Amino acid sequence: MSHLDDRVWRAWMATGWLHEPRPPASPDELDSVEQSIGRPLPDAFRELYQRHDGGSWLGGDCVLLPLQTGGELSVAQASGAHREWDWPVPDELVLFGSDGGGDPVGLWLPASPTRPIVVRIGAIFEPGCMSIVGEDLNAFLRAWTAYYLLLPDREMATAGLDALELPDHLRSDDPDDETWVQIMDWASPTIPSSMSDPYEARLTADDVRHIAAAG
């Protein structure tokens, strides 16, 4: 049984010119990272990394860190490294990548199980600097893939949008902030789209804890 949204995977395979994936990670590498961070990784994350150990996706607008080989910019070390660089990364947040602008993105994985929402941290360097960009990893990948497939040559990207099963009414010819909000509503219906921009939502760690625990 696959835990990864096959629609996302099919969309990526249909738009291969946009991606620079790394080779697969092994289960042993994933186990080692779980030991390093002190908590289990979601099944969808493990499956994603057993296909590719990170890489640059969607023309660089979604960067997934390697598990271990990137040093400070690896899943094993990124959260700690960003704290040393004065990013306010909560203990529960396991950074695994960044958006096209360099803002870190991570999985919310506290000691007590909650839903593994995906959090983006804005370059604000204050407690209120976070947003929620996915109700889980699959939702994050759906939203990011949908929006950034609207931006390249639309004729070439249509196969990817079809594979993703993005509804026609979301396929804007001129995607903007409103398009992003609508795509977030589609990809993560349990998370208000108003929480998706860290520079506007300005969520604190306590805000995120409450939202994750509410389920």
Is 89 within the bounds of a domain? yes
- DSSP class of 176: -
Is 194 within 8 Å of 200 (Cβ atoms)? Answer: yes
Provide the 3-class DSSP secondary structure of residue 103.
coil
pLDDT digits (tens, 9 = 90+) for 1-29: 689 999 999 999 999 999 999 999 999 99
What's the whole-number mean pLDDT along residues 44-61?
A: 96
* CA dihedral angle for residue 7, residue 10, residue 14, residue 18, rounded to 10 degrees: 80
Q: Provide the number of structural domains found in the chain.
A: 1
pLDDT tens string 104-139:
999 999 988 888 999 999 999 999 999 999 999 999
- Does residue 1 sit within a domain? no
pLDDT score at 199: 96
**Best CA proximity match to 132, nearest among 48, 212, 42:** 212
CATH number of the structural domain spanning residue 164: 3.40.1580.10
The tens digit of pLDDT for each residue in 79-100 reads: 999 999 999 999 999 999 999 8
Contact assessment for residue 199 and residue 180, using Cβ atoms and an 8 Å cutoff: no
Domain contains 54:
yes
Give the domain extent around 27.
6-214
Position 214 confidence tier, pLDDT thresholds 50, 70, 90 = confident
pTM for this model (two decimals):
0.95
Would residue 104 count as lying in a domain? Answer: yes
Q: Is residue 160 part of a domain?
A: yes
